[in-house]
Structure 1
């Protein structure tokens, strides 16, 4: 057996074993990398040099700013204002409470970029609102969780930033624009399903439509929604880099939360900053360790081997994209989203390039795919948050989520095989 084969077996085997033993993903990647380096008699200093290099990428500085901006808006009173605005817009139709849930998540997700923050912040309000109007608690919770995935598609999304850097040379501005239409498309699909369920079960409507209320709540919510405008126009228009736009978004979020909405004090900021640092410590450690792990993977020629293997299996683009989606869905059930993006993206790029798949388009597909993993056991973080805030057991929620899994997978396949939905806007605005 050749040295390369033994090294690959050690790398993959050690990583898999540590994951089975429920060791943290960062430790699993780092431990497998060091074991492989020792076998290859390469200096261990390469691991630590790679970790430093992985975090010195300027674009990655956007990630801390985006996370902080999302936390500021989450704790700064934006949640209830977005729900009031969404209720004024669609709360008067059949299934209105469900549509309010989806629309509010669409707005809030575009600010926070986090499905977990969306569910934790909006969930208690949305679930109570829906159950008061006669909706089943399981359905209300499942809709809240499913709609939260929109936030990872609608900019700003720090996962899109991580994908852009890991894929190498992919425009963040193009990715942000590419996620807008799919995010709205997913929201519309969930709204249609909510309407169907409301009609079927004869759920009540809320108060009548009022243009005055729409204008009033829209004006109040506008200050929070301006965060999306600042980021999208700034990055896609070439006025700012992603990092610069994220920094400005933090400043704007702070001003809105403290001096406009006045729902947050300076003292509250320290709690939010502490929470952000805890979140970022996990993300940045993963980025650092994944860089060394990725270097080892590339050194052993694994991406080329996988690309050749997949293309030898079938040259049919439709079949290969379906296989990739299934693999990502399965991995999303047992691994964290950022880990999969960091590990798999460099491996998949040669395959996608050989197939002629637009990397911007696939970025949208990958983020939506892995977003579904947040809603599935055994490690779906959003699933557990939904269970905690609603009081419904995880097992019952998982069973109730089945129609949503089917709906979201259908949307995923549609986006996979109709790339124009993702690429239309960046092509139009950026002239790609």
Structure 2
């Protein structure tokens, strides 16, 4: 048995066993990696080498963008930003069948993008929109489903910590290019769900919003513009070379803090302690995962696992269409039991060489990978956005799932478009001069 195959089997078995035992994914990755590399280096060399690789994995300046964006998102979530974006979404959707459902979709896209968190979006929108839709006679399980199905759009529409993570693990793919590349796929995700919602709500006869006056439309738009301006500042600043991703994240914290405490006056200073603690906890978890995955990345590279996997996948067929479909099915399966961040960290070094051999660019692969794994956040048994949305709506999984299946189909169609048509990922980056 080759070293690569032996290491791969040991890693796979260890991960499966430890996850079934309920061991946290970060610790699982470290244990599996050390066991695999011990075969080649011995235990006395494997442990200190792994510790060094873990430190090197998080000793990167660009990673500071992640805790800053997390903090900015938490400030927005507590600072009354969501309600203003909902008002804007309501004004945009107008008097169409199921306008409140469409409002939920647009609001998720807006709030998810400015906060960079799908969980924050599904929680904020569910808390505000669910009672309103219930009052208008909407099916509560459908309401929970559309909120859950569209919350991950904010993980694609920038700023996105998932895309920053991919940029690092892929060897330096431009964050600015990834941010621009995620916009169209994220919008298409939301629009596909709106199409499903349109036909469902039209069949049910949900017509519930009175026409809004032009004066009121202007008022809610002006009220929401300061929140939306953050996206322009972050993306424009990075693309224009004014500041780096890390500097833009730090600016986002200052901007959202001033917006919530001084401009909107919806956030009290005493609430900052809780926000800072929550942000620090989540940031620590992500950083630990990145450090742990860096050990695994080193072990995989040392033992030749990526090359072996590339040979296996490329050996499935000579047809790139079949190979890409197989990769997508693999990622869809992986996403059902691995969270977004560890899945990106584990599978980027394995699958990126395969997709490069098929002629994909790191940008195209990164958007396809992230889009695919975002679906895992709304599928059982692990999906964090799925269970957050169900909890907020106070519904049962078995009642919500039939409605979610409709949205899964629409989202999968968009995934295929993103996979087989690079234009959706590369159009906006190419306009900005990225290749």
1:69 aligns with 2:59: no
Task: Choose the corresponding residue for 1:121, options 88, 112, 124.
Answer: 124
Give the paired residue count. 432
Which string of whole-angstrom CA distances, capped at 9 and with x for unpartnered residues, describes residues 47-76 of structure 1?
000010000122111111111111111111
1:9 aligns with 2:9: yes
Q: Distance in 2 between matches of 1:405 and 1:285?
A: 31
Q: Match of 1:374, SS? A: helix
Q: Match of 1:150, SS? A: helix
1:418 aligns with 2:421: yes
Show the counterpart of 1:372. 375
Q: Distance in 2 between matches of 1:358 and 1:187?
A: 25
Distance 1:2 1:152, change over 3 A: closer
Task: Choose the corresponding residue for 1:154, options 157, 162, 179.
Answer: 157
Of 262-271 and 390-399, the range deviating more from structure 2:
390-399
For the 8 Å contact 1:376–1:398, the answer to whether it is kept is: no
Of 135-144 and 83-92, the range deviating more from structure 2:
83-92
TM-score (norm 1): 0.97
TM-score (norm 2): 0.97
Q: CA deviation at 1:193?
A: 1.9
Listed as ranges, the gaps of 5+ residues in structure 1 are none
Of 130-139 and 269-278, the range deviating more from structure 2:
130-139
Show the counterpart of 2:250. 247
Which string of whole-angstrom CA distances, capped at 9 and with x for unpartnered residues, describes residues 248-269 of structure 1?
0111010001111111111111
Q: CA deviation at 1:4?
A: 4.8
Q: Distance in 1 between matches of 2:4 and 2:118?
A: 40
Which string of whole-angstrom CA distances, capped at 9 and with x for unpartnered residues, describes residues 233-262 of structure 1?
011112111111111011101000111111
For the 8 Å contact 2:177–2:429, the answer to whether it is kept is: yes
For the 8 Å contact 1:133–1:204, the answer to whether it is kept is: no
Show the counterpart of 2:315. 312
Q: CA deviation at 1:323?
A: 0.7
Which string of whole-angstrom CA distances, capped at 9 and with x for unpartnered residues, describes residues 136-178 of structure 1?
1111110001111110110000000001111112110000001
Q: Distance in 2 between matches of 1:391 and 1:276?
A: 25
Distance 1:431 1:378, change over 3 A: closer
Q: CA deviation at 1:15?
A: 2.1
Show the counterpart of 1:108. 111
1:94-105 aligned within 5 A: 94-105=97-108
1:15-414 aligned within 5 A: 15-42=15-42, 43=45, 44-414=47-417
Of 87-96 and 288-297, the range deviating more from structure 2:
87-96
Listed as ranges, the gaps of 5+ residues in structure 2 are none
Which string of whole-angstrom CA distances, capped at 9 and with x for unpartnered residues, describes residues 403-429 of structure 1?
111111111111111110111010011
For the 8 Å contact 2:114–2:231, the answer to whether it is kept is: yes
Q: Distance in 1 between matches of 2:116 and 2:305?
A: 32
Q: Distance in 1 between matches of 2:205 and 2:366?
A: 39
The alignment yields a C-alpha RMSD, in angstroms, of 1.3
Q: Distance in 1 between matches of 2:343 and 2:121?
A: 22
For the 8 Å contact 1:156–1:228, the answer to whether it is kept is: yes
Which string of whole-angstrom CA distances, capped at 9 and with x for unpartnered residues, describes residues 84-107 of structure 1?
111122142222111111111111
Q: CA deviation at 1:32?
A: 1.1
For the 8 Å contact 2:196–2:406, the answer to whether it is kept is: no
Q: CA deviation at 1:13?
A: 2.1
Q: Distance in 2 between matches of 1:424 and 1:215?
A: 31
For the 8 Å contact 2:4–2:308, the answer to whether it is kept is: no
Q: CA deviation at 1:37?
A: 3.1
For the 8 Å contact 2:159–2:234, the answer to whether it is kept is: yes
Q: Distance in 2 between matches of 1:102 and 1:9?
A: 42
Q: Match of 1:314, SS? A: coil
Q: Distance in 2 between matches of 1:3 and 1:94?
A: 60
Q: Distance in 2 between matches of 1:191 and 1:333?
A: 24
